[in-house]
Structure 1
Amino acid sequence: MTTPPALLDVTLTPAEAVAALERVLLDGLDPETGPARTGLPVPAGELLLMPAADRRYAGVKIAGVARDNPARGLPRITGSYLLLDGPTLRPLALLDGAALTALRTPAVTALALDRLADPAAAHLVLFGTGPQAYGHLAALRAIRPLTAVTVVGRRAAPAEELAAHARGLGLDARTGSPEDVRRADLVVCCTTARTPLFDGRLVPDHAAVAAVGSHEPDAREVDGELVRRSALYVEARAAARREAGDLLLAGAGEGSLANLSELMTGRAVVPQNRPRFFKSVGMAWQDLAVAAAQYEQPATAT
């Protein structure tokens, strides 16, 4: 009889998740070989299937993107993650897929921006007010000496709630408008927007920008002006070619993109005289890296 998988809470800190991602890249993982995400339209939205494997572990995330859930008071992202033993493919652990996504996506952004940000970067302009916005604030605080946060949201009340949360962390935080990117050291976009959130001409040359809100070729959070001005970085060129609307709609050529492995190992150039833009669509190897790190903390098993 097969032993049922352990149920694991997602308790890694943002810093631990960042370290897990960095470790697999420095150990030689090539993100260009990562399997493509499978998406299936369903009446409620979309089902996503994301498998990955290495020598020690395999795993698969089944995620739902339910567009009407926020109006019901439910998370927009749902799902589960099944972690398997690599050599035998025995089920080892089952994790909350939404919690895993809420941790690993900001960790990927933090990993990239830690390399791309100006060393003195202290002011974050944060677009979005959902779980990813809170997760990105936590992850960026783990790797950057943030002192100020400007929250830009579609609705005033959630934006003020996030700003109040940031003030509770000791940050100088307020709500603002898209024009506040003029003063930004870091800009992070984690929204459901399908059209640009701000004028890319306003972003200072010293700033680093990340967009994580979409994985569709016809949706974007930043405009072509920012893309044309910026040095460009992605998780993998192959994934960006399929899903990174921010880059595809701006006509960015694949040859202009550096991937995360190149950024981590120093093979990618990071200029300081123009913005640096990181576009993330989410990849299965990231879920596997963080889920495996969680599994290797046995005290979390229940």
Structure 2
Amino acid sequence: MSIQPTTGALSNVSLEQRAWNIRRKALLMGEVQGQGYIGQALGISDVLATSYFHALDYRPEDPEWEGRDRFLLSIGHYAIALYAALMEAGILPEEELETYGMDDSRLPMSGMASYTPGMEITGGSLGQGLGIAVGMALGLKRKLNPAFVYNLMSDGELGEGSTWEAVMSAVQWKLDNLICIVDFNNQQADGPTRDALAVGAEAPKWEAFGWHAQEVDGNDLGALVAAFDAARSLAEPKPRVIICNTTMCKGVDFLEAREITHFVRVEPEEWAMALDKLEEGRPA
């Protein structure tokens, strides 16, 4: 059964189709440069579809609208995925897809707020996004602005001390307008996340700090919709986190089947193959 979007760029296009469209746009951008963090982009597409076509309140024609929900990309190297979502949402023109990563493009390979409409922060040094989100959420509260702040971060950032300082600050300020999304794909530059630095029992760890925590299959749209709804409607004055267990390269089976690492190499002839494989799984 298809899931219909409820907010954002309203239409009767299902979330399944939105997620598929985001994956396709990301692949097309990767083909332009012959590279990109496509494994992460394919894996996070369901989360982005749920964010932009179910949860977030925004105006495509006015990305700076003061009443908008803010979506922060802490993981700047995921920019290819967010550009695809912003195009699907009508915030960026799809024609710019072919400029990805080129000189003078508004689509640099790592996300930069100064270049790209809809890109709220410049992601770079990992572990900074949640701290920025805390400050932004606190500022909105003090202005009596009811908007939410969503921060998408990586599992690798759970090993950064600055992340846990932000976690504690969010509780101190009772930031119930802050929703953190963790992409847990179990990969980072030094190898599998679970082999890197004392991760495990993620939801209980966040709960121990005072957050409302949920852990879901990040490629299950129904589970994502339920988790986002629960996070947004929670009555308790506390920040919320959704830990999304995602599969790298989701939707392109021959890439999924490889031994996955942080950077998935796609050979020149494989971009067209990946698009063909994705086409086989296009939602009805």
The TM-score with structure 1 as length reference comes to 0.41
The TM-score with structure 2 as length reference comes to 0.43
Q: More helix per residue: 1 or 2?
A: 2
Larger Rg, first or second structure (1 or 2): 1
Q: More strand per residue: 1 or 2?
A: 1
